[in-house]
Chains A and B, each alone.
Chain A
């Protein structure tokens, strides 16, 4: 039996652990938290007032019984020695390792960002902070709610846009006159012009103020102003700034496997860590040139599961990021060979998103049962098939 060590019990780690046949692999998952968080839940908590309980489950309940779970912090990884050091002092050895510990959000990189988070909450860090943001927004009667971004590579690229749409609906339901402002580092509303052209009219329809070429440089919490690298400033009543992201901070030997943002350098197709044939990395902690999202982690987990069983599976770079407004939705579909295809907002796609949310826990626990459905979906909606026709 091969010893497989998976660091991180999130979307990537849990699915991978559950896909590996127990007859061939002795699987251990390490996570510092008790809970697996359904991160898109942050949106539903922050803008619909949903309960935290809906969006977290103990990791133990999501893993098949034969998968070992170690609740501990990773303090060091040595890929040459094939050993991982844990906070408790214990160390674990492996035949194969998969690093899936996600992205770190650095709230101390931008001056004022930590204070902003502590004052208002946000919809990127924790479920509790999302709850805090909901409370903050519910108390607004007028003024400006600003959503801004500090660095163009962050998880869930449509996240800020969803925040703008859903908060706009929330203020409408509350009957208050609060302006929603969306400040983005891109030349247009969405990094892809194709998607931008579709959502810009929707943003305009809801009077959401959009500022392009705006990359947050600093925040003055006394003056309630956000300053950009490009030399502009925005006033706010309540604000949230999506912080710079980075990969794992724990020590990894050899240090060359991390790039200058601490992301693991992987082969974008095989997910192997550069220079190794027994070490993989998946999910938000890698430098894969695609969206940081659950879909990526899921598809990469499948690729690694196949590869560990001797198949030459490759990740296509496929994205399927949901962008939702209150009643409508679309998916941003691209891969390494195709930029985003034209897509339209529709109620049906919003329903598909709701369906996905409803089945999430089951899909993590029983990925092998859901695989045919996901495969059929990804196949039917591949950018190569939908091409210029779009969806």
Chain B
């Protein structure tokens, strides 16, 4: 069953949201969706580079009230 994995990385100090995302990704399977919330502005370019490199799909990337929301469809896992 495809799962929705929520990662709340708002107000996260170093190492920051990209680490939280990579960590959640480890346990994810193809078909799952990962929703990340972050307040670190560096996350916006990072998540775009990340989906490209890992062959996953960025369905949504929005910013509202200082909170960045990224919704990723997991498609890039091998095996």
Contacts and interface: CB of A to CB of B under 8 A. Distances in A.
A195 B22 CA distance: 18
Contacts of B16: 191-192, 334, 339-340
Interface in B1-45: 9, 11-16, 18-20, 22-23, 26, 40-42, 45
A278 B7 CA distance: 28
A40 interface: no
Contacts of B78: 231
Contacts of A212: 53
A194 B12 CA distance: 15
19 contacts: A152-B15, A152-B18, A152-B20, A153-B20, A185-B19, A186-B18, A192-B15, A193-B42, A213-B54, A230-B54, A289-B12, A289-B20, A290-B12, A290-B13, A318-B13, A334-B14, A339-B14, A340-B14, A340-B16
9 nearest A-B residue pairs (beta carbon): A152-B19, A290-B13, A191-B15, A289-B12, A317-B13, A152-B22, A334-B14, A336-B11, A339-B40
Contact of A334 (B9, B13, B22): B13
Contact of A291 (B13, B18, B20, B40): B13
A151 B23 contact: yes
Nearest to A212: B53
Contacts of B41: 339
A94 to B, nearest CB: 30
Nearest to B14: A334
A152 B13 contact: no
A284 interface: no
A199 interface: no
B49 A152 contact: no
A152 B54 contact: no
Given A213-B53, A213-B54, A157 B22 contact: no
Interface residues of A, number: 35
A58 interface: no
Interface in A168-198: 185-188, 191-195
B79 to A, nearest CB: 10
Interface in A237-255: none
A58 B42 CA distance: 43
B46 interface: yes
A318 B14 CA distance: 9
Contacts of A318: 13
Nearest to A383: B13
Given A215-B26, A317-B13, 12 more contacts: A152-B15, A152-B18, A153-B23, A193-B42, A193-B45, A194-B42, A229-B26, A268-B11, A291-B13, A317-B11, A334-B14, A336-B12
A336 B22 CA distance: 20
A318 B11 CA distance: 11
Interface of A: 151-153, 157, 185-188, 191-195, 212-213, 215, 229-231, 268, 289-291, 317-319, 321, 332, 334-340
Nearest to A291: B14
Interface string B36-70: 00001110011001100110000000000000000
A81 to B, nearest CB: 31
B11 A192 contact: no
A267 to B, nearest CB: 12
A182 B11 CA distance: 28
A289 B42 contact: no
Given A192-B14, A215-B26, A187 B19 contact: no
A186 B23 CA distance: 11
B15 A291 contact: yes
Contacts of B22: 152, 185-186, 215
B11 to A, nearest CB: 4
Contacts of B14: 157, 191-192, 195, 290-291, 319, 321, 332, 334, 339-340
A338 B53 CA distance: 27
Contacts of A192: 14-16, 42
Contacts of A268: 11
Nearest to B12: A289
B71 to A, nearest CB: 18
